[in-house]
Amino acid sequence: MLLQTLPCKWRETIARSCRVGSLLLFVLLIHAKTAEPQTAPNKRSPDPDARKLLTQNRHLVTQAYKATQDAQTADDFDNVISLCEQAMLGELPKKLLQYTKDLLSWTHNKRGEIYARQANDAAEQGNLETAVDMDSRAMKDFETSISLDGRRWRAIHNRGVSYAILGKFDQATEDFDRTIELRPNFSKAWFNRGEVGYEQKDFEGAVHDYTESIRLNPEDPGAYSGRAHSHYRMGRYREALADYDQALEFGEKDALAYTDRGDAHHRLGHWQRAASDYRRAIKLDEGLGRAYQGAAWLMATCPDKRYRNHERALQAAHKAIELDGDEDHHYLDTLAAAQAANDNYEEAISEIEQAIELAPENETGKLRDRLKLYQEKKPYRQASRPRRTTRR
């Protein structure tokens, strides 16, 4: 039975940043003014041009801060960055210089978040070239933000998200580790590290991180769903089912969520509940191939004849491949089982042989067993009592 790799949600997790406090800026500007060297007796007065330039630079920083108050677009943040960079070209008191660097770091992170959202929109519209360009710009801004302030945890987290989008999971994990070190109560960092762990097949580690994310945000359906997937991949179907229930309770009521829960019910031999979830998933989204595949497998191979329907199984198996293609060995395995259930053994043999070619080595054994059944003109049936995989 198929449980697809988790769809990446990286782009949705770019965090919002807080605005820079006006009180801090006011204090810094006053401090900078009072900290100027005073004219000493019998010494040359400060250069009026230098004083004028210093005043202009302070004014640029003030302008930059004020511009952040209404900044919404990348162009708005371009202006803030330009003002900060102009001010830093000249002389600034030490503390005001540090403030300007902090403001510049904050601004680069905010602009990077805008680019990341634009990349997400472009990807959803199928404009991959624009998505890649916007992702690259976002990464560059996050890098710049961190170079200016190595403790800016939101930028570090956002860079981790960008690394994850690129499939650079080791670098992503390092950034999520650092984010958790700096901000241990930021639930998204735990969640995203769990996502990366899942992608790297560290399911036990993923469960740990999703659990911590849930502790910090107890009603996050995505964290329950992620933990459920991890339990499922480790064969802990009861734990997976409990988490799928929670994901649905807290709002993840889409077709994929019902399909996932249907798979868990299926693994546990809850035939009626599995069938109900697959039907509901298809009703919600007639274009979800996985729901058809799960339903087809159940109707073709269920040991309880009340839930077998060979003709519909074949229709559903064909529909799944029509929607998602024939490059997944699970889909071909399902079609072969449906063909065999309809006594179409030549077709079943052809389909299962293709599945064997596509399957990883550790899964070919069970496929070859089914091939032997079809060669003997016997259909495949699941075991009537699924093997217990968890301890009481």
Clarify whether residues 142 and 184 are in a common domain: no
Three-state SS string across 80-103, please?
HHHHHHHHHHCCCCHHHHHHHHHH
Let me know if residue 14 belongs to a domain. no
Record the pTM.
0.84
pLDDT value for 253: 83
Q: Which residues of the chain have pLDDT under 50?
A: 1-8, 15-43, 386-392
Q: 10 Å Cβ neighbour count for 267?
A: 21
Let me know if residue 12 belongs to a domain. no
Distance, CA of 294 to CA of 286 (rounded, Å): 13
Let me know if residue 156 belongs to a domain. no
Count: domains in the chain: 3
pLDDT value for 392: 31
Clarify whether residues 61 and 124 are in a common domain: yes
Let me know if residue 35 belongs to a domain. no
Let me know if residue 133 belongs to a domain. yes
Burial class (CB in 10 A: 0-12, 13-18, 19+), 229: buried
Let me know if residue 172 belongs to a domain. no
Detail the DSSP E strand segments found in the chain.
none
H or E stretch covering 34:
helix 22-34
Clarify whether residues 364 and 285 are in a common domain: yes
Clarify whether residues 302 and 345 are in a common domain: yes
Clarify whether residues 58 and 114 are in a common domain: yes
State which residues form the domain around 121.
54-149
Let me know if residue 42 belongs to a domain. no
Let me know if residue 136 belongs to a domain. yes
Q: Give the domain CATH number at 234.
A: 1.25.40.10
